């Protein structure tokens, strides 16, 4: 397995001991005559995360033994912590022609290879129940699972070129993020991810964390999300304007995370943390209902689930924060740990309420989000016709 060596460093060892690196150009002649498989947006994102080492120690889409163990025990078959089944689903009829080396395409263009070593039946309802804690198709992750093919292809992958996407200036592989951290001399780095627009409560968490560590890796997820989530380009622009004015530049790194959202709540929080270890973070923030959707998960289930592993196994420290909000009587951002007042004193805006205000052209309160961020959101919603 190709790996990238690391010198003596204060960065955490990648999960499994080495950072997987399977990015390699292949000549057209080598692809001639091979079967082809068009990837979904989510599978294309998984291909990149596998090949660049974000999903280390995985070198490809899971085989059946790993799949079964991950779904049931939150570990690979060899006992390594892992919480989400990273699979490559195809239709039953299509699977018959996908054996041996297969070219992976996106919008018809060859982007990688998989050496198919195994094909196995997806256990969709069981996977939904165990991973998403529901079999309801109303759950977006379950709906996506049910819409997939019945057969999973397994085997190591090769990515031809890292797709820098819509944010080339912020799109870094795990090795590249590690290089920046080392160049800046950060001994400790906290990673933060969100699929939502940044607001003052997020900023509060960031700055509390920065009192404890050397650097902050802001790592917004920019892969596939629900249709009603704020688009990635708007969220990234909001980060840019905020960082420019309110964050210490030398202690902050904005870099995008190309994964697709699965909305698997606690299970997804684990994968988010483990992959940030691979990016070089020593700490990871988990707040209220991380990667949740609707009312499928308890408020702090995504924090509690980490007790399934020892600190040594995780290799990254989890910073657990309670719900943070603006209290009008305290006149500052607080949490239930620091505020004595009841909910009538608190300014809390749901995502639905925020979208309603933006569509109506209303200003968001400065206690909720910085005016510069509110303006980015307002322009996006007014221009979109949403």
Give 229-275 as a DSSP string. Answer: SPPHHHHHHHHHHHHHHHS-GGGEEE--B-PPP---THHHHHHHHHH
Report which secondary-structure segment, H or E, holds 312: helix 311-314
Distance of CA 353 to the CA centre of its chain: 25
For residue 91, CA distances in Å to 60, 157, 237, 251 come to 19, 19, 38, 47
Give 344-386 as a DSSP string. Answer: GGEE---HHHHHHHHHTTPPPPTTTS-HHHHHHHHHHHHHHT-
Distance of CA 261 to the CA centre of its chain: 7
Q: Tell me how far apart the alpha carbons of residues 332 and 157 are, in angstroms, rounded to a whole number.
A: 50
Peptide bond preceding 57: is omega within 30 degrees of 0, i.e. cis? yes
172 is known as an active-site residue = no
- CB-CB contact of 50 with 157 (8 Å): yes
Q: Which of 310, 378, 266 is nearest to 79 (CA)?
A: 310
Report which secondary-structure segment, H or E, holds 156: strand 151-159
Give ∠ CA 345-351-357 in degrees, rounded to 5: 80
* 71 SS3 class: helix
Among the listed residues 42, 75, 106, 196, the single catalytic one is 196
Burial of 33 (0-12, 13-18, 19+ CB in 10 A): exposed
Neighbours of 5 (CB within 10 A): 6
Neighbours of 381 (CB within 10 A): 20
What's the start-to-end Cα distance of the chain, in Å? 47
Pairing of strands 332-334, 283-286: unpaired
278 is known as an active-site residue = no
Among the listed residues 195, 200, 277, 378, the single catalytic one is 195
Residues with active-site annotation: 195-196
């Amino acid at each position: 397995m190709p790996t990238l060596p690391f010198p003596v460093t204060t960065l955490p060892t990648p999960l499994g001991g080495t950072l997987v690196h399977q990015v390699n150009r292949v000549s057209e002649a080598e692809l001639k005559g091979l079967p082809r498989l068009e990837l979904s947006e989510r599978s294309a994102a998984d291909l990149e995360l596998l090949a660049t080492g974000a999903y280390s120690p995985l070198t490809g889409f899971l085989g059946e033994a790993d799949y079964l163990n991950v779904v049931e025990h939150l570990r690979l078959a060899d006992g390594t912590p892992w919480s989400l089944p990273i699979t490559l689903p195809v239709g039953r009829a299509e699977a018959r022609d996908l054996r041996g080396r297969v070219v992976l395409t996106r919008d018809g263009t060859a982007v990688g290879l998989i050496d198919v070593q195994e094909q196995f039946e997806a256990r969709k309802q069981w996977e939904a129940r165990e991973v998403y804690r529901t079999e309801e198709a109303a759950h977006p992750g379950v709906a996506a699972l049910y819409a997939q093919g019945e057969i999973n292809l397994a085997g190591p992958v090769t990515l031809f070129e890292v797709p820098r996407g819509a944010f080339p200036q912020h799109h870094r592989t795990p090795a590249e993020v590690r290089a920046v951290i080392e160049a800046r001399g950060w001994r400790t780095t906290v990673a933060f991810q969100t699929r939502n627009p940044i607001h003052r409560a997020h900023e509060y968490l960031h700055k509390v964390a920065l009192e404890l560590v050397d650097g902050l890796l802001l790592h917004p997820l920019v892969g596939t999300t629900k249709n009603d989530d704020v688009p990635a380009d708007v969220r990234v622009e909001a980060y840019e304007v905020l960082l420019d004015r309110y964050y210490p530049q030398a202690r902050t790194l904005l870099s995008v995370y190309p994964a697709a959202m699965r909305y698997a709540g606690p299970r997804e929080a684990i994968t988010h943390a483990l992959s940030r270890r691979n990016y070089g973070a020593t700490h990871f923030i988990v707040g209220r209902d991380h990667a949740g959707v609707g009312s499928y998960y308890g408020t702090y289930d995504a924090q509690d689930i980490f007790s399934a592993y020892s600190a040594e196994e995780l290799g990254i420290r989890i910073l657990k924060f309670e719900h943070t909000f603006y209290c009008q009587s305290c006149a500052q951002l607080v949490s239930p740990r620091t505020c004595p007042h009841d909910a009538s004193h608190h300014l809390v805006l749901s995502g639905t309420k925020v979208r309603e205000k933006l569509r109506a052209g209303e200003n968001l309160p400065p206690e909720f989000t910085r005016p510069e961020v509110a303006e980015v959101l307002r322009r996006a919603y007014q221009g979109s016709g949403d």
